[in-house]
Structure 1
């Protein structure tokens, strides 16, 4: 990266270091590697058949789906997820209970903002995600 940009970085950016988790993730992608450290879900838990259904929905309603929408998510997707998760949770779920995030990191960030106050004690494993 050009030095001209590095001089303008914040102090936090200048002092940041790579995450050990990121390094673990690069290792588990090696052929034959079986690791329980990276937090990667088992491939068989992905509902691939439902992804195919989603592709058809995208084909039929893609122009609408790809537009900006409300920040709480696409209502038909939230309705589907509420129905899909209900038997897995052992209770009914409503679309209002569904929070769609870009991944676990965003979910943890939102949880932190919503539930943790300055000065609260947080206990984690080391290393921790």
Structure 2
């Protein structure tokens, strides 16, 4: 098992329990335009990178020894944040398609303290 303090890349394409797995994680968010990311957190490191080759990014992240979360987003919108984030896996649960960009930005920050999607690629929506 990895230490809760290990780096955990979080990328977007897109019941409470206690224990060592629920401690805060260090998260590295790979983004094209870090100036547009209005969120800050003591456990968040923003990394600038080229994201045009989705498959290469996914292979680099999933092939690493680090924990990661890659969020799948199918229809980003410019609507205001709703504060509602539905997450899960396509075909399982109630994930829709549309999601505001502001809520998309909040998801990696939520992953700082949520181990549910460690080394996973959930779909997210509003």
TM-score, L = length of structure 2: 0.22
Which protein shows a greater Rg?
A: 1
TM-score, L = length of structure 1: 0.22
